[in-house]
Homo-oligomer: A and B are copies of this chain.
Amino acid sequence: MRILGIDPALRVTGYGAIERRGRGVALIEAGIVAPATGAALERRLAELHKGICALLAQTRPDVVVIEELYTTYKNPMTAILMGHARGVMCLASAQAGVPVQTLGHAHVKRALVGSGSATKDQVNAMVTRLLNLRVAPKPNDVSDALAIALAYLNMSEHVLAH
């Protein structure tokens, strides 16, 4: 099973595709999609949609896992704008025929580190170790996206094993 994890945002969206290989996990591809800032919202959403469509065609995942948005932004309009971006990502997945799964931040941390209140450094270290990387993925958006994919892999195999 190939999993594409996405840490959704309007500015810098991290992504990471992974795949189970024997007893290890292989990193297929990871990076960011970052539409030019300054343009009108609809133009930025169009650029984001194009980027995610290209990513789906390139990585051909079996499932896309897009992190759930917080409802706790100081400015509620931020959450709504993030919703615009996440909606466009869900659409791209549907158009590519790939099912979308949602994981909350705390679930990702719990699945990877064992605690919903794990620090960013702990999550980072676990992503680096599980993917057998020499250095932690940068920027944080990429590490977060890989954490989402790894958490989903962990949870789905845990479910399958029982």
Which A positions have Cβ atoms within 8 angstroms of B? 40-43, 45-46, 49, 69, 71-72, 76-77, 79-88, 90-91, 93-95, 99-100
The DSSP consensus for interface residues of chain A is helix
A82 to chain B, nearest CB (A): 7
| CB-CB under 8 A for A90 and B94, given A40-B100, A41-B100, A71-B76 | no
Q: Which residues of B contact A84 (CB under 8 A)?
A: 83-84, 86-87, 90
Partner of A91 from the list B46, B81, B83, B99 (CB cut-off 8 Å) is B46
Q: Which residues of B contact A93 (CB under 8 A)?
A: 42
CA distance A35 to B67 in the complex (A): 24
The reply to whether B81 and A79 form a contact with Cβ atoms under 8 Å apart is no
Q: Which residues of B contact A91 (CB under 8 A)?
A: 42, 45-46, 49, 88, 91
Q: Which residues of B contact A82 (CB under 8 A)?
A: 80, 83
